[in-house]
Structure 1
Amino acid sequence: MPPKKKKTGKGKAAKKKRDAPVDQNKTTCNRFLKAYIKHCNDQSVLSCAAILQECRRCIEEDQLINKFIVEEPVKFGADGERERPASVPPADDINPGISLKPVLKALEEIQYPGLVQIHVWHFPMREEVDSSAACLALYLESNMGINVKVLELKDNNISLWAMNRISRALPVCALCVLVLDHNWMPDSLLSSLCNGLTGNRVLQCLSLNYCMMTETAGLILGPTIVTTLIRDLSLNGNVLGCEGTQDLMSPLLHLCTAGEPLPPLAKILLQDNSIDAKGKGGTFGPVICMRAFRRLITSNPNFEEIDFEHNHIGDAAGREILHAMQQRKEVGYPSIRMTVTHRMNPVTFAAILDLSTTYGKKARGKKKKAKK
């Protein structure tokens, strides 16, 4: 009987090799959690409950966190005004509440891999509060920040200084989605943002919903959408009006008229933007504005969705949209999802809906005959 071969331990080594990524994920998340808590204590700020919860979940499930949400707790009183919970004292020089800085410091300290999304909600990003904006810009400019594709700064009361610093990082970072909803965006901040986006060939989605932008924003933002690769532009809840909307689309209309190459802009969301007869143009304002869109719709095959919901454009302007949809169909361009208010002639409204695509709408085909 031949002697038994001694075990070489290769099986155990292979098992350890297979388990290594799992152990590495747990170790990385644990290291980040410890570093984050340490930096929060060093800076005398509160730790974010959402981050702590997500870290513990990922440790239990052997996963790396690819999305960080840094959120200040928000509560609304009976009068509709925002309040801070009793557990969260007001931010000041002694106790600044929650900060983005400890998150970024911890990420840099342990060289955290795989971060794709950063979401910052409901706390101020102003130089007099802390230097979160500068830390964020430095992180986006670093070799580690090149992996970040989505940045959402929501309701942060961004100062001009903070916007200038973040804008300087935009030409060198790899962001594909930038969301700045619910931040007051006067012309000075919007100009700073657009300067940072000049020549950017990476960003595909820009959201500036409920930023209190007025008609002058159209002149500032218009050139940006034709010199970048922005595909989705969301401007819901502002006050562009008819004049501002025309100024916004004027550079794109010029390219269409001149027969020049068109940018990839496919989605324009303009809900609740005071595109109605109450502006300077009176009752002719919406008609002139929709006539400009008619020329765009019939000459730009890239469009996929346009949203005018909650803008009382009226019957005449509605007919301009209807004729545009009909002409687009005649020239053979793909149909688009068009959303308008129902406050117009019901026949016109129904015809627009009939020509518009809807999400989840399936092409109708002939029924197959059952085999005998």
Structure 2
Amino acid sequence: MSRAKERKKPKEAPPSVVPALQKFLRTYEKHCAQSRTSVCPAIRRDLKSSISNEQILRKFMLVRPDDSSPSLLPVSLEPLLMTIRDEGYTLGKEICMWGLRLSNPEIARLALHLETKGRATCPITTLEIIDCKMDLWSLGRLGKALQLSSLQFLVLDYCKFGNGDVESIFSGLENNQRLQGLSLRYCGLGPGSGPRLGSVISQSAISELHLDGNYLQCSGALALLRPIGAYAEVQGKDQSTSASPYTGSPPQPSQVCRRGSSTLNQIARSPEAITLKTTSRKKKRKKGIKKKVKGLMEAGPWVVKLYLADNGIDGKGEEGKQLLEFTRLVTCLIKYSPQLREIDLGNNVLGEMAATNILEALRARRTGKLPALKITVTPQISSDTFKSIWKHSKKSTALKKKKKVKN
């Protein structure tokens, strides 16, 4: 027998995570008692479940208790962060907070935790702050921390921002080369947020943008789409002059700098020189854009997923006069952007003419052999147009697998 077939030595079993989680729970309860705050029922439940199943706990869910009586002590973020620090727990990747009123000291401690980057005891890559209340100081402190964090996904859904409040967050996103996904659903964003969102997308690595349930209207959505649509149009011209059609591979990025300062300084000095964001080269793409990041991503004005459902984009009033231009930019994206994989325009009354233009763009995309696109539009159009758009949308992967098996 060849040596290659010789029996390999069995690998040693990894050490049990149970003792570490048991100690984590005790320390967390101690910090809650010392700070006169309530132990979060969700965190206690998840820790006990992970202990009983001998599994790593990667996501911490901090939620407001169902019983919100005045006599009940509040749930606080600080004891959790102190426990992560004291126990040196390096396995948690996500922190999610629901329905809390976050104080300035809590946000300050969170910001310090995020800003430690690779030296953090808990390298958080996903932060969800959903339906929470923060004042202007807290938003400003969080915005400053975003630039120095290792976050890849930020969710601020249902956090109502006043006029100018969200500017603190936007300032922390510009030139951010780590953050890939941003969700600002139902945040009360109006048309004035469109230009800042367009600037953020152009100068950051964000390629998945959730803006459902705001009120950008035509002007705000236009301002957001202008840099993306213009870049897609340039790509279309390049493809038409190229001898070979698009092969399905993402564009070749230039070398990605793994030490943030030099790359960020270069972009700051030359904002007009827009480069491409790094994309995965794997043929089998994972759902969404959640993938491991080794160092910084590159900036560029394109998106993989764009969600603009329920944003008051229609042909009514003064805003409606810009619907034609909005439709033109959307069709440019559909026709020419090889990066785009999903776009949601549901609950926006675009009208029959816009729907027909979108259908023609989908047909042109297929003719150009660009990757399949999943698109959602309102059913408030003719049934024939709606059905045709649905047929040209991305087909189920299960059906493709079935065909391969038959062959």
Q: Out of 161, 182, 197, which is 1:206 matched to? A: 182
Higher RCO (C-alpha 8 Å, min separation 6): 2
* Structure 2 residue 87 is the aligned partner of structure 1 residue 120: no
Match of 2:218 in 1: 242
Once the two structures are TM-superposed, the CA of residue 73 in structure 1 deviates from its matched residue by 2.6
* Structure 2 residue 157 is the aligned partner of structure 1 residue 181: yes
Structure 1: gaps of 5 or more residues = 1-16, 75-84
Counterparts of 1:257-272 in structure 2, within 5 Å, are 257-258=233-234, 261-262=275-276, 263=300, 264-272=302-310
Identity %: 31
Once the two structures are TM-superposed, the CA of residue 335 in structure 1 deviates from its matched residue by 2.2
Distance 1:245 1:38 in 2: 49
Match of 1:89 in 2: 69
Match of 1:99 in 2: 76
Once the two structures are TM-superposed, the CA of residue 330 in structure 1 deviates from its matched residue by 2.1
* Structure 2 residue 379 is the aligned partner of structure 1 residue 342: yes
19 and 356 in structure 1: CA distance in 2 versus 1, 3 angstrom threshold: closer
* Structure 2 residue 178 is the aligned partner of structure 1 residue 166: no
TM-score scaled by length of structure 2? 0.76
Once the two structures are TM-superposed, the CA of residue 186 in structure 1 deviates from its matched residue by 3.3
Once the two structures are TM-superposed, the CA of residue 241 in structure 1 deviates from its matched residue by 0.7
Q: Out of 148, 151, 155, which is 2:124 matched to? A: 148
Counterpart secondary structure, 1:253? helix
Question: Pairwise CA RMSD of aligned residues?
Answer: 2.3
Counterpart secondary structure, 2:89? coil
Distance 1:56 1:362 in 2: 40
Structure 2: gaps of 5 or more residues = 1-10, 236-273, 277-299
Match of 1:4 in 2: none
Counterpart secondary structure, 1:311? coil
Distance 1:279 1:115 in 2: 49
8 Å Cα contact 1:297-1:328 kept in structure 2: yes
Aligned amino acid, residue 155 of structure 1:
D
TM-score scaled by length of structure 1? 0.83
The number of aligned residues is: 332
8 Å Cα contact 1:287-1:313 kept in structure 2: no
Q: Out of 9, 12, 15, which is 1:21 matched to? A: 15
Distance 2:403 2:78 in 1: 56
Distance 2:385 2:332 in 1: 19
Q: Out of 323, 343, 356, which is 2:393 matched to? A: 356
Distance 1:37 1:310 in 2: 46
Match of 1:230 in 2: 206
Aligned amino acid, residue 97 of structure 1:
P
8 Å Cα contact 2:89-2:122 kept in structure 1: no
Distance 1:205 1:73 in 2: 29
145 and 176 in structure 1: CA distance in 2 versus 1, 3 angstrom threshold: farther
Distance 1:145 1:159 in 2: 27
- Larger displacement relative to structure 2 (295-304 or 97-106): 295-304
